[in-house]
Structure 1
Amino acid sequence: MQWFAEFAWLGDEVAADVLIEADGERFTSVTRGVPAPPGTSVLRGLTLPGLADAHSHAFHRALRGWVQAEPARPAGSGPPRMPGTFWTWRDQMYKVADRIGPDAYRALATAVYAEMALAGISCVGEFHYLHHKPGGDPYDNPNAMGEVLIAAAADAGIRITLLDTCYLRGGIDRPLMGPQLRFGDGSVGNWARRVDSLYEHTDKGGRPHARVGAAIHSVRAVPPEQIRSVAGWARERQAPLHVHLSEQPAENEACRHAYGVTPTRLLAECGALGARTVAVHATHLTPDDIDLLGTTMTGVCMCPTTERDLADGIGPARALSRAGSPICLGSDQHAMIDLFEEARAVELNERLRTRERGHWTAGELLAAATWNGHYALGWPEAGRLEPGAYADLVTVALDSVRTVGPGPALAAETVVFAATAADVRSVVVSGREIVRDGRHLLVDDVPGSLREAIAALHATLNG
C-alpha cells in the first residue's frame, strides 16, 4: 500500500512530498522529497499520525446538550437558580448510567467511535465501569458490557484499550448505592477474576484491534489495599493503569481527612504511580503532588473541554510536563469530540491562568495528541509516521475557511490552533481506509446513528 502526502508532520518538522508505504497494518517506509508514483493516492493537506483519545466514557455522549439545558429563571419568578457543579452534573449522568443495556450500548458506542474516526482518532481509551445490570446483578456473560465496547470499536474501524475500572465504594467509607450498584464487583478479587477472563479473550484471543488495561476509578471509590491489588494486576501484565485524580477539591479534602495525605501521595504509597500509569485530570495538585507524578514519570491525561464544561478548573499541565509527566489528551464526557480543540485548550488555558502566551509549541501539542496518547493506552508502536509503526494516517485540509492561511511552513501551527474535527478529510487505521473525503466508510450515516441511539436511550428516561 502506498500514500503520497502533500505535506506530513514527521515529529520534528513538516515535510513536503512524502511517500508513505505499508505492508498490512504497519508502515515499511517513509520517504520525503520524492515525486508521486503514478497511480498513488495523494493526500491533500497536512497528514499526521493517528490521534489517540486517551480518556472516554462512551455513554456520556448521550448527555451532550441535555446537561447544558439549565433554563434561566426570569426576574421576579422566584428564588435564584442554584449554580450547577460537577456533583449536580453527576446526578444527571447517573440517570443515563442506570438505563443503558448491552444492545443499546453497542449501538451508541459504535456511533460515538465513528464520530471519533471522523475526527481523526485511530485509538480510544475507554474508561469502563458499566459492568453489570442495574441493581448490580451480573449479566450471563459478566463482561457483556465490555465486550460490546470492543465490538463497537471494530464496527467503527478504530483500535481500543478497554480500561476495565475497579469501583467498590460510593465514596470514602460509603457503600455503593442506586445507579452505582452496577459499577461494583463486590471485592477486588471478584474484579480481578472478571477482568482476567476479558484479558485472556482479548489480548491473547485474536482481537488485534483491542487491548485490556486496568483503571482505579478514584481514591474515593477504591480503598488503599484494593488500590495496591489493582496496581499489582496491571504491573504483572505490563498493562496500562489509569485513575481519575484530584478532579475536585472535595476529593482532596476527603482523602486528607480519611488518610492524612493527598490522593497523589496515597497512590504513591500504594505503588500505583509509574510510567504505565496515567492520572486523568490532575486538576487540583500541590507542588509535592506534581513532583511525585513527574519523578515517577506518571502520565497525565488532560481533558480541557470536559474540565471547563464541568467547571472543574485548569490543571497544571505545563508544570507537570516540566516535572517529567508526559501529557496526553482525552475527550472524557464528549461535550465535543475534537482533539485539536483539546490540544489548543492546553495552551490557551495556560494563557488565561498566567496572562502570558507561548507555553507549548504546536509540535508538543501534536505529540500529546498522537504518540503520548498511544503510549498511555499501551500501544507504543503507534502514533508516529515511521517504519514499524501502525499504519495510521489522518489528513487535515489546509484549504478550509479555518485553515487557509500562511502556507505549509506553518501548517502544524495552523492545524493545532485553527483546525477542527470538521477539517479531517481522510483517515487510515492499521492500513485500512475508514474515512474518505470526510465520509465514514463503515458506518453509513454517523449523525443518524447517533440520533437514533441517543433518542432510544432518552425515551427510556422519559418513559
Structure 2
Amino acid sequence: MTSHPGLANCHSHAFHRALRGRDVGGGTFWAWRDRMYAVAAVLDPDLLHDLAVATYAEMRLAGIGVVGEFHYLHHGPDGTAYDDPNATGEALIAAAREVGLRICLLDTCYLAAGFGVPVDGVQRRFSDGDADAWAARVHDLAARHAGADDVVVGAAIHSVRAVPPGQLATVAHALPDAPLHVHVSEQPQENADCLAATGHTPVALLADAGAWTSRTTAVHATHLSDADITTLGDATAYACFCPTTEAELADGVGPSARLRDAGARLTLGSDSNTVIDLFAEARAVEMHERLVSGSRGTWRASALTEAATRSGYASLGFAPDLADADAVTLRDSVRLAGATEPLWAATAADVEPPKNLPYEAADVAVMLRRAVGAIWERV
C-alpha cells in the first residue's frame, strides 16, 4: 500500500457526465456542444443534484478530495430564476457534501452567445442579464457559505465570447479574494472572433479588464501567442489543462512547458468527465508534450504530482496542505507492481475506496445509470 496526497480536480462540468460513452456526433467541438446543450436543457435542480451526487462519488472513488465546479446552469428553461436564484448552485454544493468532497463552486457569468450576439435557446438558462445582476446573485451565494471549511464560492468568466468586453472587469473583481477561473483560447475560432471584434487575443482582452492575477486560472489555454504566455507567466496565474477532454473534443495540445517556464502554475481537471482519473490527466500532459516536441522528460513526476494535488488545492482557494490531510491509499495492484513512481503507472482503479464515502462502488454505478437514464429520457 502507498499513500498519495489527495487529488484536486480543478475543472469539472458535472452534468457533462451524462454524455460519457454516447455517440454525440462527429465533426468539431461545436457539433459536440449541440448535444451538450440538449442535456443542459432538460435538467432541473433535483436531477442535477442526483447526477452530481453520483459523479462526485465517482470522483471520491478516484482519489479526488476537492473539485472546482465550473457552474453556469443557473436558471429555469426560459431563463426565469428559480424561487431561490441559487437553487442549482446549492444543489451542487449539497451533492458534494453528501459524499464528503470539498467544492469550489465557480459561479460562472455567461451573458452572450458571441460577440454582439444575444443568448438564445438553452443559453437563456445561463444568463443573469448583465454582470451586475450576476454579481448580486453570486454575492448572496458567497455570503451563505462564508467561513465554511468545505466550500469556497469563486467566480468564473465563461469565455470572452460569453461576457461582453465592457462587463469583464465587473466579473473579474466581483469576489476579489476568491478564485477566478476562465475558459480561454480553447478553440482557434474563439481567438479569431475575438481578434475580429476587439483587435485583441482573449488573454490580452482579459488583461485589459484586470483579470490576470495570482488567484486566476486560465482553463485550457490551448492556442496562445508568445505574448499571451508572457502575460500569464508574469501574473503567476494557474493554467488548468484537461488533456482527456481536450483530446476528446479535438481541441489541440496546449503549451504546458512554455507556460511553466514563463512562471505560470499547472493544475489539472476532468472537464467533461469523459474520464475521471487525475493520474491519466497528469500523465497525458507529459505524453502530449512528447508527441508535439519529440522529446521525453519535459515534466517530472514530482512536478505533475504537485499540479494534481497541492497546486490544485491552492488554485481552488483551499490550503495546499489539505491535500496531505486528504491523502488516499493506492493498492498493490498489477499496474503498480515494481513501480517506483506511482504517477507513471497508477489509475483511478488503484485507489482504495475512502472510508467516509457513504456508498460502495456498485451503489455509485447504479446511481449513475439511474441519473443518466432519467436525463436521456427527457432529451
TM-score range, shorter chain: over 0.9
**Cα distance in structure 1, aligned partners of 2:289 and 2:52:** 32
Moved over 4 A (4+): 440-444
Q: Following TM superposition, by how much is the alpha carbon of 1:146 offset from its aligned partner in structure 2, in angstroms?
A: 0.2
Question: How far apart, CA to CA, are the structure 2 residues paired with 1:383 and 1:314?
Answer: 30
* 1:341 corresponds to 2:268: no
Question: Which residue is equivalent to 2:2?
Answer: 46
Counterpart of 2:305 in structure 1 is: 366
1:146 aligns with 2:73: no
Question: What is the TM-score when the length of structure 1 is the normalising length?
Answer: 0.80
- Does residue 87 (structure 1) correspond to residue 30 (structure 2)? The answer is yes
- Indicate the structure (1 or 2) with the bigger Cα radius of gyration: 1
**Are 2:157 and 1:224 equivalent residues in the alignment?**
no
SS in 2 for 1:170: strand
Establish whether residue 214 from structure 1 lines up as the match of residue 141 from structure 2.
no
| CA distance in structure 1 between the partners assigned to 2:224 and 2:364 by the alignment | 39
- TM-score, normalization by structure 2: 0.97
Distance 2:228 2:3 in 1: 37
- Quick one: structure 1 residues 383 and 353, their matched pair in 2 at CA, closer, same or farther if it must change by over 3 Å? farther
- Shift, 1:151, TM fit: 0.1
Q: Report how many residues are paired.
A: 379
8 Å CA contact retained: 2:61, 2:361: no
Deviations 1:86-125 (A, max 9, x none): 0000000000000000110110000000000000000000
1:75 maps to what in 2?
A: none
Counterpart pick for 1:453 among 371, 374, 377: 371
The reply on whether 1:434 has 2:368 as its aligned counterpart is: no
User: Given that residues 65 and 102 in structure 2 are in contact (C-alpha distance below 8 angstroms), is that contact kept between their aligned partners in structure 1?
Assistant: yes
Instruction: Render the CA deviation track for 1:17-63: whole Å, top value 9, x for unaligned.
Output: xxxxxxxxxxxxxxxxxxxxxxxxxxxx2211211000000000000
Check the 8 A contact 1:215/1:241 in 2, yes or no.
yes
Corresponding residue for 1:38? none
How far apart, CA to CA, are the structure 2 residues paired with 1:266 and 1:173?
Answer: 15
Counterpart AA for 2:170: S
- Retained in 2: the 8 A contact 1:67–1:92? no
Show the counterpart of 1:247.
186
Partners in 2 of 1:267 and 1:453 — Cα distance?
37
Residue type of the partner of 1:51?
A: L
Higher share in helix: 2
Q: Deviations over 1:347-377 (max 9, x none)?
A: 0000000111111111001000001100110
Q: Give per-residue Cα distances to partners, 1:174-214, cap 9 Å, x unaligned.
A: 0000010000000111101111110110124xx43111000
Hey, what's the Cα distance between the residues in 2 that align with 1:185 and 1:331?
A: 27
1:324 to 238, 259, 263: 263
Q: Secondary structure at the match of 2:113?
A: coil
- Residue identity over aligned pairs, in percent, reads 53
CA distance in 2, matches of 1:248, 1:84: 14
Q: Is the 8 A contact 2:217 2:238 kept in 1?
A: yes
CA RMSD of aligned residues (A): 1.3
**More strand, by proportion:** 1
Aligned ranges for residues 32-431 of structure 1 at < 5 Å? 45-67=1-23, 70=25, 83-204=26-147, 207-235=148-176, 238-385=177-324, 391-397=325-331, 399-406=332-339, 410=340, 413=341, 415-427=342-354
Mark the CA change 1:201 to 1:444 in structure 2 (over 3 Å): closer, same or farther: farther
Distance in 2 of aligned mates of 1:95 and 1:305: 22
